[in-house]
């Protein structure tokens, strides 16, 4: 494995400014325009810089470069960022794309998350370099040392002006994802949450979805469940009705003699990028304010049906 620090002639504690200065100096010295023989050397310098200038890439690279030196605290994960987003079922069924903008705590680019721009670290005096709180190491459960945050070493001073010594800064992130039936309540985007103080792995971005019109229809896998209201006349005589299901106008046959609570089933319903099955529970809509003509018809019907039931 290439040692990018050696390529740039830098120590592993190099600051972002040191990395940038070293790259500019070496890139100028070994630019291909000066000699074709320097082309491969220049590519190596560019590769090293592209990795070390990015905080997240640098952390992952350091783990691979010195796996034995990585303190157990490095596997710590930061907290999740949780937000709420209002959507509707048409968007979910249509597998529409959504974009959100939020903030998270990322590692400070100036001090690489250490809180200090000092290049030399010293053993933590509180935990003697173990990274574990001494009291918890004896009586348990084990906790990370509050002074070094579990890393076993500390900088001479928390002097980073960018993050005020916290090692973190608020970063605005923009994420695009696809809504789907499988994730109609929550979308989880890994590695897009907060970083833990001192470094480690980021948490996740949890997007809780609130479906604004979920009462109209409900979806479960490839099934669509909902209600349909018909008139007493339609229930007795049967009818053909048209209903809008997720922007698709569907023709539904109501059999004669349909009772309230009957479930009408329809196969091969357009459902996003595929097909689904529709289950409609019938409700009989009783007119609350019938007009004169309707009253006359119902009175006649009542007279005809006297003693029928």
Give the residue with greater pLDDT, 120 vs 173: 173
The answer for 228, left when phi > 0, alpha when psi is -120 to 50, beta otherwise, is: beta
Q: Are 261 and 282 in contact (CB under 8 A)?
A: yes
Predicted confidence band of residue 84 (pLDDT cuts 50, 70, 90) = very high
Domain limits, the chain: 4-70, 81-211, 217-304
pLDDT at position 194: 93
pLDDT tens by residue, 48-79: 999 888 766 776 677 677 654 444 444 677 89
CA distance 52 to 61: 8
Which of 96, 104, 106 lies closest to 206 in space, CA to CA? 104
* Range scoring the smallest mean pLDDT among 59-73, 96-110, 192-206: 59-73
Which of 78, 66, 151, 79 lies closest to 115 in space, CA to CA? 151
Could you please state the CATH topology (level 3) that the domain comprising 81-211 is classified under: HSP40/DNAj peptide-binding domain (2.60.260)
% of the chain surpassing 70 pLDDT: 86
State mean pLDDT over 109-123: 71
Q: Note if the pTM is more than 0.75.
A: no
Per the DSSP assignment, residues forming a β-bridge with 227 are 281
Q: Are 220 and 93 in contact (CB under 8 A)?
A: no
Helices (H), 222-268: 232-237
SS3 148: coil
pLDDT at position 141: 77
Same fold, 81-211 and 217-304: yes
The tally of CA atoms less than 13 A away on the side-chain side of residue 279 is 11
CA distance 60 to 148: 20
* Range scoring the smallest mean pLDDT among 57-71, 223-237, 242-256: 57-71
- Architecture field, domain 4-70: Orthogonal Bundle (1.10)
Which of 9, 104, 16 lies closest to 59 in space, CA to CA? 16
pLDDT at position 30: 83
Q: Are 103 and 134 in contact (CB under 8 A)?
A: no
pLDDT at position 73: 45
CA distance 145 to 141: 13
SS3 219: strand
State mean pLDDT over 18-30: 87
Q: What is the CATH number of domain 217-304?
A: 2.60.260.20
């Amino acid at each position: 494995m290439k040692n990018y620090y050696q390529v740039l002639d830098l120590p592993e504690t190099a600051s972002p400014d040191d990395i940038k200065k070293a790259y500019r100096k070496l890139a100028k010295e070994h630019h291909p325009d000066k000699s074709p023989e320097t082309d491969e050397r220049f590519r190596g310098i560019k590769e090293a810089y592209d990795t070390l200038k990015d905080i997240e890439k640098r952390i992952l690279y350091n783990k691979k470069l010195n796996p034995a030196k990585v303190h157990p605290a490095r596997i710590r994960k930061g907290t999740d960022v949780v937000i709420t987003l209002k959507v509707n079922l048409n968007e979910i069924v249509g597998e529409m794309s959504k974009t959100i903008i939020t903030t998270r705590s990322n590692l400070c680019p100036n001090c690489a998350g250490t809180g200090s721009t000092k290049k030399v670290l010293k053993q933590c005096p509180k935990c003697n370099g173990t990274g574990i709180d001494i009291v918890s190491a004896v009586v348990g459960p084990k906790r990370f040392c509050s002074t070094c945050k579990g890393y076993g070493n500390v900088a001479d001073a928390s002097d980073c002006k960018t993050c005020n010594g916290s090692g973190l800064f608020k970063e605005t992130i923009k994420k695009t994802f696809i809504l789907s039936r499988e994730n109609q309540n929550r979308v989880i985007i890994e590695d897009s949450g907060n970083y833990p103080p001192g470094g480690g792995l980021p948490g996740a971005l949890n997007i809780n979805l609130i479906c604004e019109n979920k009462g109209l229809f409900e979806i479960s896998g490839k099934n669509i469940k909902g209600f349909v209201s018909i008139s007493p006349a339609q229930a007795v005589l049967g009818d053909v009705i048209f209903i809008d299901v997720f922007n698709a106008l569907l023709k539904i046959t109501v059999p004669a003699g349909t009772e309230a609570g009957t479930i009408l089933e329809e196969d091969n319903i357009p459902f996003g990028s595929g097909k689904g099955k529709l289950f409609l529970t019938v409700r009989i809509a009783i007119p609350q304010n019938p007009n004169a003509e309707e009253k006359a018809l119902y009175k006649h019907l009542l007279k005809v049906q006297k003693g029928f039931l």
